[in-house]
Structure 1
Amino acid sequence: MTTDVHTLVVGGGQAGLATGHHLRRAGIDCAILDAHPRVGDAWRRRWDSLTLFTPRRFDALPGLAFPGDPDGHPGKDEVADYLAGYAEHFALPVHTGCAVTALRPAADDGFVAETGTGEWTARQVVVAGGAFHTPSVPAVAARLAPSVVQLHSSDYRNPAGIPDGDVVVVGAGNTSVQIAAELAAAGRRVTIAYDELGTALPQRLLGRDIFWWFSRLGTMGLSGERGIGARIRAQNPIIGTDVRGLLRTVRRTRRVVDAERDALVSADGTRHPVATVVWATGFRPSYPWLHVPVLDDRGAPVHRGGVTDRPGLYFVGLPWQRARGSAVLGWVGRDAEFIAGHAAAAAGHDRTAVRTG
């Protein structure tokens, strides 16, 4: 069965939902395809104690406040429920359990999307997923013995799921320090491996949440291409974790450069016997289903603010797509509005309509 729609949105997370909302405001017929069984499931599958850095007042998508204490920080299940509620509130045309297996150019300059439940045709496509889809794990992982338990941070749930023995958490970002701190608090023997962490920032500063300051100073709207934004992008600040306190409870070693069956080898040559490795090493872009020539040699989208050289094909939700907040829950709506405006103009609609809600 083939279903035709004017604009297809691939991905039903926060980026896809915000884009769908703006497209509907502009009067564009659209459909949102999401591979998960329920809206919000990408959040439900993250580790149990995950809590957002951003307070609820900065976690809303366009047109619907995030419920609860505006100065409190929601957990991952609360975010998932908010997204599901958002889709329901605006009656967004989300099709769950509908994974796109191939997207190709159509003969009429539109696009054809193949899914497990049928085929879709569209004049325009907005890709709102794939940037955080595939775990990035170093090649040295393959040299560890099968007896060493390995998992990416996306598969970590809680300390109870980690076997006894020494744990090495590999990574230099917020995820690595949060997981290392949780494991150490549970009494586990933890080593964290990195060369350099970004600047550690407190969750609260002078009585205000750090994101209140970011909002007032315009930090989340900075481009990562130059100036202060480029420096922030390179540093990847650690927010809300007492790094000094953490380093009093865990061991620290240089970045991992090799593995020898039951041990990891750090950059200074130190060998670290290990029972479990948590690879908090981020994600790589992955679009194996995208058969349109808009990706570079690394498989990352080539775009300008989410607009590609292929007419009618857009991206939203990429890290630093247009600004620091491009992939952050409470700020992704700005890029969604920008992309929906382009799509509306291309369709001959009034692009200013996307700003009305």
Structure 2
Amino acid sequence: MQAQVDVAVIGAGQCGLAVGRQLKMRNSDFVLIDRCARVGDSWRRFMDSLRLVTPAGVSALTGLAFPAPARAFPGKLELADYLENYADAFSLPCELNVEVRRVRTIDGRFTIDLSPTGSDKGGHEEQSLVANSVVVATGFLHELRIPNFAEELDPTINQLTMSDYLAPDQVSGPVLVVGAGNSGVQIAHDLAPAHEVWLSGPNPGHFLFDLSNPTLWNIAHRLFTPRNPVGRRFIAMIQRKEPPVIKISEKRLRQMGVIRLPKVSGTENGYPVLADGHTVRPATLVWSTGFRSDFSWIHLPVFDAVTGLPRHTRGITEIEGLYFMGLPFQYGFTSHFIRGVDRDAANIVEHLAHHRLANAETTLSDRSDHPQ
């Protein structure tokens, strides 16, 4: 890898690729850095039957159509291959199998400490990349969130995380799925034909809009933003609770025999205790309790002390040259969808370009004021 670059994009998922295409259109000097061996691998590692909760019509990035009917729900391999093909189609420069250990500033520029994925921190293979600007495109969901009382469960219970679970033949029943959001519902739906399944957690409701409909997409894309009162109220409502389930209906879960249970609140004698006081005895427990953010590798004073998320306006931070992609409601509701990240990427790259131009003009002005 080269030692210096104008823009370093950390993450080569959909957010990083969207930024990469925008930079490519401006003939920028940039590189995308990702810890995976292939573009799209972050999707390939999930359960075998995983399908997007959004249809193909809103699952494509600008410039390359998704190779599926607009109302079809792509599987994980279809999306992973699409992202890899996208990087190839636009010849985006990707450095893969590279892990970012630290981001800091030295003498007004960003220094990014790197090493091969899986190597020991501080090993002899570590190297550094210097950049004028950095776009952090790793999203905001990084570490699995598992309650502390998981350690108190009986060792005979087979505990898996949502990242560990791949297929029904991997487990024995009855299976308790803890967490009833989109991932938990998909796992319960996958398990139900083969096992007795209990789904624990509040029902967040279902998203009723068909976003494959161009009219409804345009309404959501334009209306549900902080720029208008309706959008602000909608976003505030969504942020107060678990995002609604998309695609798999409550009726479908009932038909498949999935049993709804209250939230798991602790343990008793090694078994899960529900919020209503009842104890359940599963053979397998799948934790689908979400993720937390981890930006500890970014050694810059840009994070909120309470949320741990960067302080920003549409991904633009108070630190000159530092940007983020894939944050919750980065600009609007559709920022959470693959098609929606293009707007956020375009805004960031436009700001970056204006910032670069302003610096160049300042440099020229300084030189003219101080002739040799």
In the TM superposition, what is the alpha-carbon distance from 1:211 to its structure 2 partner?
3.5
In the TM superposition, what is the alpha-carbon distance from 1:251 to its structure 2 partner?
2.2
> Does 125-134 or 209-218 show the bigger shift?
209-218
**Aligned partners of 1:219, 1:198: CA distance in 2, in Å?**
22
**Aligned partners of 1:246, 1:104: CA distance in 2, in Å?**
48
Larger Rg, first or second structure (1 or 2)? 2
**Aligned partners of 1:158, 1:319: CA distance in 2, in Å?**
29
Stretches of structure 1 that go unaligned for 5 or more consecutive residues are 350-357
- Hey, what does 1:84 align to over in structure 2? 84
Does residue 226 (structure 1) correspond to residue 228 (structure 2)? The answer is: no
- Hey, what does 2:298 align to over in structure 1? 290
**Aligned partners of 1:340, 1:105: CA distance in 2, in Å?**
20
In the TM superposition, what is the alpha-carbon distance from 1:156 to its structure 2 partner?
1.4
Count of paired positions: 341
8 A contact 2:55–2:211 mirrored in 1: no
In the TM superposition, what is the alpha-carbon distance from 1:228 to its structure 2 partner?
2.2
> Does 276-285 or 4-13 show the bigger shift?
276-285
- Hey, what does 1:355 align to over in structure 2? none
- Write out aligned runs for 1:345-356 (5 A): 345-348=354-357
**Aligned partners of 2:233, 2:89: CA distance in 1, in Å?**
40
Describe the shift of the 1:50–1:270 C-alpha distance in structure 2 as closer, same or farther (beyond 3 A): same
- Hey, what does 2:9 align to over in structure 1? 9
- Write out aligned runs for 1:84-233 (5 A): 84-107=84-107, 109-117=108-116, 118-162=127-171, 164-186=172-194, 188-195=195-202, 197-201=203-207, 209-212=210-213, 214-218=216-220, 222-223=224-225, 226-233=232-239
Stretches of structure 2 that go unaligned for 5 or more consecutive residues are 117-126, 359-372
> Normalising by structure 1, what TM-score?
0.89
**Aligned partners of 1:126, 1:210: CA distance in 2, in Å?**
28
- Hey, what does 2:336 align to over in structure 1? 327
In the TM superposition, what is the alpha-carbon distance from 1:160 to its structure 2 partner?
1.0
**Aligned partners of 1:250, 1:12: CA distance in 2, in Å?**
36
- Hey, what does 2:288 align to over in structure 1? 280
8 A contact 1:6–1:28 mirrored in 2: yes
8 A contact 1:2–1:119 mirrored in 2: no
Query: Among 338, 346, 355, which residue is 1:337 paired with?
Result: 346
In the TM superposition, what is the alpha-carbon distance from 1:215 to its structure 2 partner?
0.5
Secondary structure of 2:3's counterpart equals strand
Secondary structure of 2:251's counterpart equals helix
**Aligned partners of 1:185, 1:221: CA distance in 2, in Å?**
40
8 A contact 2:56–2:212 mirrored in 1: no
Amino acid at match of 1:74: P
8 A contact 1:214–1:220 mirrored in 2: no
**Alignment RMSD (CA, Å):** 2.2
> Does 120-129 or 254-263 show the bigger shift?
254-263
Query: Among 246, 264, 286, which residue is 1:239 paired with?
Result: 246
**Aligned partners of 1:139, 1:53: CA distance in 2, in Å?**
29
**Aligned partners of 1:64, 1:245: CA distance in 2, in Å?**
33
In the TM superposition, what is the alpha-carbon distance from 1:264 to its structure 2 partner?
0.6
Describe the shift of the 1:120–1:148 C-alpha distance in structure 2 as closer, same or farther (beyond 3 A): same
Describe the shift of the 1:221–1:140 C-alpha distance in structure 2 as closer, same or farther (beyond 3 A): farther
- Hey, what does 1:354 align to over in structure 2? none
**Aligned partners of 2:294, 2:174: CA distance in 1, in Å?**
32
